[in-house]
Each structure stands twice: as C-alpha cells, then as structure tokens.
Structure 1
Amino acid sequence: MRRIQGPGIFLAQFSGDDSPFNNFPDICKWAASIGFKGIQVPTWDGRLFDLKKAASSQTYCDEIKGIAASYGLAITELSTHLQGQLVAVNPAYDAMFDGFAPPEVHGNPKARTEWAIEQLKFAAKASQRLGLRSHASFSGALLWHTFYPWPQRPQGLVEQGFAELGKRWLPILNAFDEAGVDVCYELHPGEDLHDGVTFERFLDEVGQHSRANILYDPSHFVLQQLDYLAFIDIYHERIKAFHVKDAEFTPSGRSGVYGGYQSWIDRPGRFRSLGDGQINFKSIFSKLTQHNFDGWAVMEWECCIKHPLDGAKEGAKFIAEHLITPTDKAFDDFAGQGQDITLNKHILGL
C-alpha cells in the first residue's frame, strides 16, 4: 500500500484582490503558514498563474515551482474547472457561462468552445513542464437540463449528447496523453459527468481512454444520495485526484434533493467545512489507502456557515490527522510459522 500525500489546498476559493491572496508568493506563504504542504492552482486566475506562459516557458514553470518550494509547498495539480465547463455548454446556459470566458468570445459559443479547448491543451503542456501527473477539471454539459425525464427525453438524445461530448474531449485527452498527464473529472451535479453511470457512458465514447479519470469529491455524492464509499471500491482504478470537502444532507417535509431553489444555507444538502458535516472521512482515507491511492488530499473549502480562513486552518489539521501510514507487516506475524510444505500437506491430509 501507498501513502496519500497532504494536506493540500485548492486556492480558487481564497484568491482575491487583497493581500496575501492577490499574488502567488504571498498566497503560498499564507498556505504554508497554516500547515499545508501542497497547493492546487486555478489556471484562470491571472493574479496567481499565467497558463499560456506556463505552456510555452519552462523557465516560468521552474520559477513557479521554485516559489512554491521556497515555502515548503508542492504544486499538486493545475485546475481548469471553469475552462473545462466551457468545452460543452447547452445554449440554455450561454448567458450564465459567458462570464467564465474572456470578453472577446462573449456571445459567440463557437469561439468560446474553441478558446476553452485551447486552454485545456495549454494546461496539458503546463502540467508536463511542472512535472505533474494529474489535472483537475469539469466535463461541461450538453444534457444537464434534461437530467429529470420530464418531458420524456426523445429517443437517442442521451446517446447523441455523450457522443458529442466524447468527440470534443478526445483530442484534449490525446494532448494530455502526449504530456503524460491524467485528466481528472470532478463528478459534479451540473456536469454531464456527475456520477458513476455517466462517467462510464463517457468512457465508452472515448474508447476507455487511459487519461480519462476521476477527481473524487464525496461531497457531491452526499448531495445526490450516492454511496460514496462503494464508489471507491468500484472506480478506484480511475481515481487519480481527491478533493477533501465535507457536506451534509438533512431532508425535511418541505424540501429534499433538489433544494427548492433555496440559498445554500437553507438547502437540505449543503457543503460544510471539514469536520462539520456528515461524511465518514476515516473510511474514505482507509479505502483510498487500501486501494493504493498516492495522490494528494486537497481541501476544497465551500461552507455556507464558517469563515473560509477558519475553515482553512482547521482543514489542514483535519487532513493531516486522517493521513494513514500503511503498515509494512501483518498484525498476526508474531504467530507465523514460516512455510513448511510437509506440514501443509499434513494439515490438508495429502
């Protein structure tokens, strides 16, 4: 068995216009000061990272790695969650998702998709230059508005939607393959890849591509009422990244899984800071260790109650306390007798 690395932190929810969150050296210093050992970097935030430059300049990548290392930090993964979302957008969401892209492609879905695909290919090269093994992203969605079959979905709609999604992602996956990096899709409501079944559909469309993998985040499975522990046993070979994020689900007589269009604080399913929700992280860390996951345990803070800086401080400690050093011996070795073929034959009656 291998040891999970950590604790890491996803910087997306912490970057901002105020110091120390508005530039890469200072946010690294802050993350290290509260106990983190790794950082997952959002590539759309120019205050922290220049993705296009990283794709073409080894010098820039070495500088970024050097800054992180000077504070005792490793870069765990790059993230293109926003750009990955834009690889596939149903027209119903065009206006809402245009904000994820630069102004020059607003109102032009074709140009926006081309920009997003280019961004992913930049991320493949940048990840390679940084010496990374995994990359975090979203799949985008053409079908999400039809997730509940009313009105009845036209025959063949789902198959066509996944065929198109696979067509768009296959060249990107090939680019990541050339770079030696896995694409880890965060399975997330709102994405066409949001559970095990949809991930399997996608794998079929991309020829079981070896670079199509999973960013495991149990919080999204709690909100869907999916068995997040059994998921690890089924899909562990494809789990190549890990968001440590807590959640809770408390249905009532007034609201359930769909949340009633309520704000996060009033929804039955909501994200919480680590240790404040319902997720059994002891079992998660045990299962991932059992299945030889040796990637990073990266905290993603999303909580509708607790302040993010408090959540971050507590999160570093929480992850560190859940990391497991795998045993190098069996607990009953003291009673072992060594191999004795004659004795074994005698016991077997041979």
Structure 2
Amino acid sequence: MQLGFVTAILPDQSLEEVLRTAADIGYDCVEVMCWPPGKAERRYAGVTHIDISTLDEAGIERVKELQERYGVFISSLGYYPNVLGGDAGAAQVAIDHLYDLLEAAAALGINTVTTFVGRDKDRTIEAQWEDFLTIWKPLVERAGELGVRIGIENCPMRFTADEWPGGNNLAVSPDVWENMWRDIPAAHWGLNYDPSHLVLMQMDYTRPFRDYPERMIHVHAKDLRIDREKLDRHGIFSHPGLWHTPKLPGMGDVDWGKFFSHLTDAGYRGPVCVEVEDRAYEGDLELRKRSLRQSHDYLRQFIA
C-alpha cells in the first residue's frame, strides 16, 4: 500500500507546491483535485490542482516531470459533483467534465478517477435508478475503452439542509453497490472506500473490503467521532451534523489497526489517502500542514 492525501485541503497551493509538501512530509502519493476552475458552493469542492480544460502535451509532460522530481505519484484524479440532482444544465456540465477527466487520466497515465455517482435528494433510489443507468452506463463504458478505473466514494452527502432528505450520493451502502454492479457489471469500476461514512451509519466498516475486495479501487483514510451524548439527545433520525464530528485518523471511532488488518487480508495493495475534514485543523495553512504531518506519522505504523 501507498500512503497519500487528498489535495482539497491545500486549495491555495499549486500542483508543484502540493507535491513538494507531500514529499517533505513523507507521503507516497496524492489524490489530485480536478474541479473546473471557479468558486464552489460547498466545502472541499472547487479545488483545481490540474486544470484539465487547458491540459496539452506540454502540460501532460510537466505533470509527469513534477511527479518524478518530487518522488510523489498521483493516485487518481478527483472530482465530486452531483450529476443526478439539481439543475439539469449544471448536471450536464458535470457529466461533460467527467468524460474529459477520463480522457485526462488516460493521457497522464494515472488511469484512475475518483468521484460520486450523484443523487436527486428528493426522489427515492428506485425512482431515479433509470436516470442513474442512463448517465453511468456510457461513462463506465468509455472508461473501459480508455483503460481507466472509476472509484465511487461511499459518502451519503446528507450533512446540510440543502442535502436533505435523501442526500446527494446514491452509493452509500452494500445493497446499493450490489445493484450498481449487477446492472453495470464492468470490473473497472468500484469503490473509493471511506470507512468513516459507515461509522456514521452505524455499520461494520471492515465488511466492504472483506465482501468486495475486487471492487476496492482506492481508499480514503478519514476518521469520525460519534458524540454519544448528543446522539442520545437528538436520536439517529436527526440531522447527523448534530452528533458527529469528522476527525483526523486516530482521533475518532475507527480502529485503524483492525481496519488495516482486514484491508491487508483482503489483498488490497493500492493507495490509502488521508482526507482532512477536521475543522480543528483548518484555521490556516500551517494548521492544515500539521494535520497532514500528524496523519502521516500516525498511519505510517500501518503502512511501511
């Protein structure tokens, strides 16, 4: 396995600065954010460390050269929009960008894209399943033609008032994943797996890579603390923002020794990328770098 981080936590740095930061701390890789340039509406979105809209042969060579110079490779190109909900025009822009991202991943030799499948939060999963298939069957087919893998993150995206009641991502549970893979059975798409989301949903976060080892495309390392007194006060059906807190690895409820024990048994040998969403470390650049150093030092005991 290789230890990395998601570059969204360093939005003001250039790609070269991000790779230098990663090398200085001791990371092996980074998941590089590739949003279309422009301001985003939610936290951790809208970060552009590679602008694929201007990526030409010289740009491709520069990205490759920077990885060699700093000894840090790019594990995937990340972009997390909602292609199934909200404004149809905005959804089409996101779909078009995903196609371009597949092309860019192939051209760069990275060959992995990490994203969401999206969701219309106001409709049931069953009611929008055909829309999901209409959008994702050709995307997965094109990825296969290009030799690119797609890793879908399992985040419920149900954290703000704008995301209720259903959330902005369908791919939240084994039941949904199995239906996705049944109806689009291609082997080159699976999970960008984050255990913290199963902690939130009161599920066994070690089961997915035990049950679906062949579907582990990419892995996120993020922790989460359930604030038990607040949960006892508000209940499981309340807004989860009332009773949970995203944390750095080792500071929440994930047992990382158990996590990596099962992950290695499952035969996973790919990237594990720290995703910093711990607000205690977001005040300034030095705090964000500290979060990456602390996460690196903690997780290195599990990833040689």
TM-score (norm 2): 0.84
Paired residues of 2:189 and 2:217 also in contact (CA < 8 A): no
Match of 2:40 in 1: none
Could you say if the C-alpha distance between residues 114 and 311 of structure 1 is closer, same or farther in structure 2, counting changes exceeding 3 Å?
same
1:9 to 5, 9, 12: 5
Identical counterparts, % of pairs: 22
User: For structure 1, which segment, 57-66 or 69-78, has the greater mean C-alpha deviation from structure 2 after superposition?
Assistant: 57-66
Q: For this pair of structures, how many residues does the alignment match?
A: 276
- The counterpart of 2:132, out of the listed 165, 176, 184, is 165
In the other structure, the counterpart of 1:197 is 175
Matched, 1:283 2:262: no
**What does residue 225 of structure 2 align with?**
248
Q: Could you tell me which residue of structure 1 aligns to residue 34 of structure 2?
A: 43
User: Where does structure 2 lack aligned partners over 5 or more consecutive residues?
Assistant: 38-47, 157-166, 282-286
Aligned position for 2:98: 120
Q: Is the 8 A contact 1:61 1:130 kept in 2?
A: yes
1-structure distance, mates of 2:76, 2:226? 29
With over 3 angstroms needed to count, the CA separation of the structure-2 counterparts of 1:258 and 1:32, relative to structure 1, is: farther
Partner residue, 2:150? 183
Distance 1:145 1:280, change over 3 A: farther
CA contact (8 A) 1:257 1:269 kept: no
Q: CA deviation at 1:204?
A: 2.9
Q: 1:77 maps to which residue?
A: 76
Write out per-residue CA displacement over residues 119-165 of structure 1, whole angstroms, 9 at most, x where no aligned residue.
111111111112124221011102x345xxxxxxxxxx543311211
Larger Rg over CA atoms: 1
The alpha-carbon distance between structure 1 residues 301 and 175, as it changes in their structure 2 partners (threshold 3 A), is same
SS for the counterpart of 1:140 is coil
Task: Indicate the larger mover: 216-225 or 190-199.
Answer: 190-199
TM-score by length of 1: 0.74
Structure 1: 5+ residue stretches without partners: 95-108, 147-156, 325-350
The C-alpha deviation readout for 1:20-48, integer Å capped at 9, x for no partner, is x2x22122212221221211111016452
Alignment of 1:1-350 (within 5 A): 4-5=1-2, 7-16=3-12, 21=13, 23-44=14-35, 46=37, 48-54=49-55, 57-82=56-81, 85=82, 87-89=83-85, 94=86, 109-142=87-120, 144-145=121-122, 158-189=125-156, 190=167, 191-206=169-184, 208-252=185-229, 253-260=232-239, 262=241, 267-306=242-281, 307-323=287-303
- In the alignment, residue 19 of structure 2 is paired with which amino acid? C
The 1:128–1:114 alpha-carbon spacing in structure 2 relative to 1, beyond 3 Å, is same
